[in-house]
């Protein structure tokens, strides 16, 4: 018995020294390295997936504090501008009484559209060309050539400003065919209003008209601009800015006024 006890104890020690028993209390170095490497790989893969899948979220999270500060501490100019913009949109929507057939003045939409056509660029350019062909006086040709120049400048300036601003109207109304021809597809500034203001100022300065005709000419320009608000194509500020740009265009044409000799030379080339 005393000899068998040391043998059994040696067997027990050999059994406990095996890897499967040692791993219960003291993990092997190989297992530790494999587990740590798998954890690192999984963490790296997760980090890479997070970076690849959510780049926008990371940018937004980085920008959120600055945006929150801007929203919580707006400037006085920003508050004033947003307030005026909200008032402009609200008033323009209320005045859009002919925006569609279901509006309060929907039955008068056709008449308002006809009034807007009187301030369109295509009819005015066509009429100016016809009058220029039939005109036989030097003074008349000079005035008509400069009027044609003013109309072309108005179309180009308004189209360029609209492309820069890209402001849409208060209602979702698709532009007509004539609007696409003159590139009058956006709201700011109102092309009809600028053209009406420029034409009325041009005629008041270069045509001899009676006082009633002068009053009617000014009223026509105002009605053309206001009609664009009624059909929902422009805001109030779009029309007011159109009037201002129309006056500036008239002043520009006065500065680059073509003389009679220049007009005759251009007519002869044409």
Catalytic residue among 120, 206, 234, 235: 234
The 8 Å CB, 24+ separation contacts for 29-38 are none
Q: Name the catalytic one among 120, 192, 206, 235.
A: 192
192 is catalytic: yes
In order, the DSSP letters of 206-222 are HS---HHHHHHHHHHHH
Q: Is 12 helix (H, G, I), strand (E, B) or coil?
A: helix
Residue 146, Cβ density class (10 Å: 0-12 exposed, 13-18 middle, ≥19 buried):
buried
Evaluated on CA atoms 177, 149, 190, 202, the torsion sign reads negative
d(CA 270, CA 266): 6
Contact 247, 198 (CB under 8 A): yes
Q: Is 235 a catalytic residue?
A: no
CA 47, chain centre distance (Å):
39
Which active-site residues does the annotation give? 192, 234
């Amino acid at each position: 018995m005393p000899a068998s006890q040391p043998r059994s104890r040696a067997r027990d020690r050999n059994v406990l020294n095996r890897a499967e028993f040692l791993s219960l209390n003291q993990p092997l170095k190989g297992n530790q390295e494999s587990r740590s490497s798998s954890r690192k790989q999984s963490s790296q893969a997760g980090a890479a997936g997070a970076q690849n899948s959510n780049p926008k979220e990371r940018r937004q999270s980085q920008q959120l504090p600055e945006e929150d500060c801007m929203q919580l501490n707006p400037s006085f100019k920003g508050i004033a501008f947003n307030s005026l913009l909200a008032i402009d949109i609200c008033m323009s929507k209320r005045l859009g009484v002919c925006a569609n057939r279901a509006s309060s003045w929907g039955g008068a939409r056709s008449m308002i559209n006809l009034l807007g056509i009187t301030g369109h660029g295509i009819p005015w350019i066509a009429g100016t060309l016809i009058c220029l062909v039939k005109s036989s006086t030097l003074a008349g040709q000079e005035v008509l050539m400069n009027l044609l120049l003013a109309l072309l400048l108005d179309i180009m300036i308004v189209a360029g400003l609209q492309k820069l601003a890209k402001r849409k109207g208060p209602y979702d109304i698709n532009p007509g065919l004539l609007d696409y021809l003159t590139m009058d597809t956006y709201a700011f500034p109102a092309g009809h209003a600028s053209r009406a203001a420029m034409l009325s100022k041009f005629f008041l300065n270069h045509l001899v008209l009676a006082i009633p005709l002068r009053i009617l000419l000014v009223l026509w320009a105002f009605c053309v601009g206001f009609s664009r608000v009624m059909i929902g194509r422009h805001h109030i500020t779009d029309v007011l800015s159109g009037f201002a740009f129309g006056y500036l265009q008239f002043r520009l044409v006065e500065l680059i006024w073509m003389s009679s000799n220049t007009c005759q030379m251009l007519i002869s080339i044409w």
